Chains A and B, each alone.
Chain A
Amino acid sequence: SAVISQKPSRDICQRGTSLTIQCQVDSQVTMMFWYRQQPGQSLTLIATANQGSEATYESGFVIDKFPISRPNLTFSTLTVSNMSPEDSSIYLCSASARDFTEAFFGQGTRLTVV
């Protein structure tokens, strides 16, 4: 199994600013992902974080708005840029081995943009 530490756990930010969320896994994993969970809704995949290369973004998400880094197998960051109130959500980091017998999740970052 893997334990994922995500920080900050919550933040309140001014519109127009940026927030970087960090995700640390306690073991080497193949795949890392970032999800968004808007209030009262399910999880939506933002992107797959690729080690040493550009992330793979899902439809509706772009690198300029959600830049992602993954410098090694156990660490990734997601930045929410030029925030607006519509970005208020829970952002979750996830990790799994390539066989996908299980996906592990961080506790999430609850972001409120005012």
Chain B
Amino acid sequence: AQSVTQLDSHVSVSEGTPVLLRCNYSSSYSPSLFWYVQHPNKGLQLLLKYTSAATLVKGINGFEAEFKKSETSFHLTKPSAHMSDAAEYFCVVIETSGSRLTFGEGTQLTVNP
């Protein structure tokens, strides 16, 4: 069985400071991992994905994430937060042998001026 845990339900940062959104996963098989962002009243947008290639994955809007198998983690980072980054972020796992996505509970990112 697969599962994903987002360690923080809310993260608040100041504009221009680094962002760290934490995600740990559990999977019986080699997983694919994703980060999605959901802005208020908008659909889900893919930020980045890991599918067993390079462990450091770069996504859109300056976000990146590193897959660490030994720590079963896939944390999302950004060097400098922008006001437009304020949104809900979801870590998602799927086993390559399976057929369903499992969503984390989400992390609400607030960016303060």
Contact residues of A with B, CB < 8 Å?
Answer: 31, 33, 41-45, 48, 92, 94, 100-103, 105-108, 110
Extra A-B contacts (17), CB below 8 Å, given A42-B103, A42-B104, A42-B106: A42-B90, A42-B105, A43-B90, A45-B100, A45-B101, A92-B44, A94-B101, A100-B32, A100-B96, A101-B49, A102-B34, A103-B34, A103-B101, A105-B44, A106-B43, A107-B43, A108-B43
B51 within 8 Å of A (CB atoms): yes
Q: A44 contacts which chain B residues (CB < 8 A)?
A: 103
- Once the chains bind, are B99 and A31 in contact (CB under 8 Å)? yes
Q: Which residue of B lies closest to A94 (CB)?
A: B101
- Kindly state the separation between the CA atoms of A101 and B43 in the bound complex, as whole angstroms: 19
Cβ of B36 to closest chain A Cβ, rounded Å: 8
B46 within 8 Å of A (CB atoms): yes
Interface residues on B, range: 20 to 34
Q: A42 contacts which chain B residues (CB < 8 A)?
A: 90, 103-106
Q: Which residue of A lies closest to B90 (CB)?
A: A42
Q: Which residue of B lies closest to A101 (CB)?
A: B51
1/0 per residue B83-113: CB within 8 Å of A? 0000000101010100111011110000000
Identify whether the interface residues of A are mostly helix, strand, loop, or mixed: strand
- Kindly state the separation between the CA atoms of A100 and B96 in the bound complex, as whole angstroms: 8
- Once the chains bind, are B51 and A48 in contact (CB under 8 Å)? no
Q: Which residue of A lies closest to B51 (CB)?
A: A101
Selected A-B contacts with CB under 8 Å, 27 pairs = A41-B105, A41-B106, A42-B90, A42-B103, A42-B104, A42-B106, A43-B103, A44-B103, A45-B100, A45-B101, A48-B99, A48-B100, A94-B101, A100-B99, A101-B49, A101-B51, A102-B46, A103-B34, A103-B46, A103-B92, A103-B94, A105-B36, A105-B43, A105-B44, A107-B42, A107-B43, A110-B41
Cβ of A87 to closest chain B Cβ, rounded Å: 19
- Kindly state the separation between the CA atoms of A105 and B90 in the bound complex, as whole angstroms: 13
- Kindly state the separation between the CA atoms of A103 and B51 in the bound complex, as whole angstroms: 13
Q: Which residue of B lies closest to A93 (CB)?
A: B43
Q: Which of B2-46 contact A (CB under 8 A)?
A: 32, 34, 36, 41-44, 46
